[in-house]
Amino acid sequence: MPTLLPGSVDTAGQRATLGVLGGGQLGRMFVHAAQRLGYFTAVLEPDAKSPAGLVSHHHIQTAYDDLAGLAELARLCQAVTTEFENVPAQALQTLAQTRPVAPSAAVVGIAQNRIEEKAHFAACADVSGVTCAPYAVLETPADLQAVLDERADLLPGILKTARMGYDGKGQVRVKTTAELAAAWAELAGVACVLEKMLPLTAECSVLVARGWDGQVVSFAPQRNVHIDGILAVTHAYAGNMPSALAERARAAAVSIAQHLGYVGVLCVEFFVVEDGSEHGGLVVNEMAPRPHNSGHYTIDACDASQFDLQVHAMAGLPLPQPRQHSPAIMLNLLGDVWFGADGQRQEPDWLGVLRLPGTHLHLYGKEQARPGRKMGHLTITGPDVASVKTVARRAAELLGLPGLDSI
């Protein structure tokens, strides 16, 4: 990847342009970061009113696998990324024939399939020092029978579809062999992974950025709180988890990115398990080949955000080691905030929230609020952890957010 300088124009008069497949909020924040550096942007997204499409220089309104749309994206851009992992891998392969594409179709394909993802984690465990929870693959009735007969040690567990599972979707908790058989039937017998439930004490994630030249930088781990499988609160400050575990998670995430030959921003999610376990207190859960919800705090609390680093990586620019200048807590804003206890629509108390010191509101430009839909986030920064927690609790109270007991 030759370096694509900010604001540059080639001999044919074409401005330096970065492309993104997907028009959601991650694409929108990538577009904002790219434009701030002087790049033009192009978004390929079928939704006419998508968050990213509305703010980009170019919006190619086609399906992700539309060949004419992909050709137009390649014509406009010097490099292309994706804002979500469920984009068709074939679309990335098509673009890669004429343009640098990162992450690659092969890497995205691994992240799209839990079976391949866990095999990758196992393959690099010796280097990363962290492995995943014990699991079994269920693709055929014979696989199910083998688990029923021989792997009772995996119960209680979580049955997860191999594909298209996110934010708690495609997951069923099972305690007995009978529940396992019934759950697999309920999921229509699709390829699944049965993962042993471990005694968790926390969840965390690590953001890594890797360039075309192999340069790697990373953020300190952030501790995450999920409710009903959806991220609710992110704690990003020194001491949010034991320092030894934090360093292990950070090193493991870098090793995973290196093992993949990854380019761009990668998020690796971990479970923190009870001390004294065979896993050494840490297991890897999954990875997202893109910027991540848990890293949104970096926009307001760091001198370079995860989206800045994604732009740098895509354009072949140097990757600065990011520095966090303020402790932060990020509160995820779902569509539920727009509805009262009686189910009637209401306007959130933005005036009350924005009176609080250190609040940074980000709304994604989505027209319709629905329960469970990610509509925005609120990051609270301050001079110290205590003041950040105090403001975060008050903001959560004003908005009626869950997870207060975790702040």
pLDDT tens by residue, 306-346 = 999 999 999 999 999 999 999 999 999 999 999 988 889 99
Q: Does 85 belong to an annotated binding site?
A: no
Q: Does 360 belong to an annotated binding site?
A: no
Q: Does 170 belong to an annotated binding site?
A: yes
Tens digits of residue pLDDT in 89-123: 899 999 999 999 999 999 999 999 999 999 999 88
Q: Does 211 belong to an annotated binding site?
A: no
Q: Does 203 belong to an annotated binding site?
A: yes
257 in the same domain as 384: yes
pLDDT confidence tier of residue 207, bands split at 50, 70 and 90? very high
CATH number of the domain that residue 156 is part of: 3.30.1490.20
Q: Does 196 belong to an annotated binding site?
A: yes
173 in the same domain as 230: no
240 in the same domain as 165: no
Residue that wins the pLDDT comparison between 280 and 304: 304
pLDDT at 402: 86
Q: Does 167 belong to an annotated binding site?
A: yes
Q: Could you say which of 176, 196, 216 is where a domain stops?
A: 196
pLDDT at 120: 92
Domains contained in the chain, number: 3
Q: Does 367 belong to an annotated binding site?
A: no
77 in the same domain as 165: no
233 in a structural domain: yes
118 in a structural domain: no
Tens digits of residue pLDDT in 208-221: 999 999 999 999 99
378 in the same domain as 329: yes
28 in a structural domain: yes
CATH number of the domain that residue 209 is part of: 3.30.470.20
Q: Does 241 belong to an annotated binding site?
A: no
70 in a structural domain: yes
Residue that wins the pLDDT comparison between 11 and 361: 361
152 in a structural domain: yes
Q: Does 165 belong to an annotated binding site?
A: yes
Q: Does 160 belong to an annotated binding site?
A: yes
Residue numbers of the domain that contains 397: 200-402
240 in the same domain as 383: yes
Mean pLDDT across 353-360: 98
108 in a structural domain: no
Residue 52, pLDDT > 90, answer yes
Q: Does 269 belong to an annotated binding site?
A: no
pLDDT at 229: 85
Residue 299, pLDDT > 90, answer yes
Q: Could you say which of 101, 126, 158 is where a domain stops?
A: 101
Q: Does 166 belong to an annotated binding site?
A: yes
107 in a structural domain: no
Q: Average pLDDT over the chain, rounded to whole? A: 94
205 in the same domain as 186: no
Q: Does 198 belong to an annotated binding site?
A: yes
pLDDT confidence tier of residue 278, bands split at 50, 70 and 90? low
381 in the same domain as 396: yes
pLDDT confidence tier of residue 168, bands split at 50, 70 and 90? low
Q: Does 164 belong to an annotated binding site?
A: no
228 in a structural domain: yes
331 in the same domain as 227: yes
Q: Could you say which of 179, 196, 213 is where a domain stops?
A: 196
236 in the same domain as 181: no
287 in the same domain as 212: yes
pTM (global) more than 0.85: yes
CATH number of the domain that residue 92 is part of: 3.40.50.20
Residue 165, pLDDT > 70, answer no
3-state secondary structure the chain: CCCCCCCCECCCCCECEEEEECCCHHHHHHHHHHHHCCCEEEEECCCCCCCCCCCCCEEECCCCCCHHHHHHHHHHCCEEEECCCCCCHHHHHHHHCCCCECCCHHHHHHHHCHHHHHHHHHHCHHHHCCCECCEEEECCHHHHHHHHHHCHHHCCEEEEECCCCCCCCCEEEECCHHHHHHHHHHCCCCCEEEEECCCEEEEEEEEEEECCCCCEEECCCEEEEEECCEEEEEEECCCCCCHHHHHHHHHHHHHHHHHHCCCEEEEEEEEEECCCCCCCCEEEEEEECCCCHHHCCHHHHECCCHHHHHHHHHHCCCCCCCCECCCEEEEEEEHHHHECCCCCECCCCHHHHHCCCCEEEEECCCCCCCCCCEEEEEEEECCCHHHHHHHHHHHHHHHCCCCHHHC
Mean pLDDT across 225-239: 94
Residues of the chain with pLDDT > 70, as a percent, come to 98
pLDDT at 26: 98
Q: Does 286 belong to an annotated binding site?
A: yes
214 in the same domain as 187: no
Tens digits of residue pLDDT in 62-83: 999 999 999 999 999 999 999 9
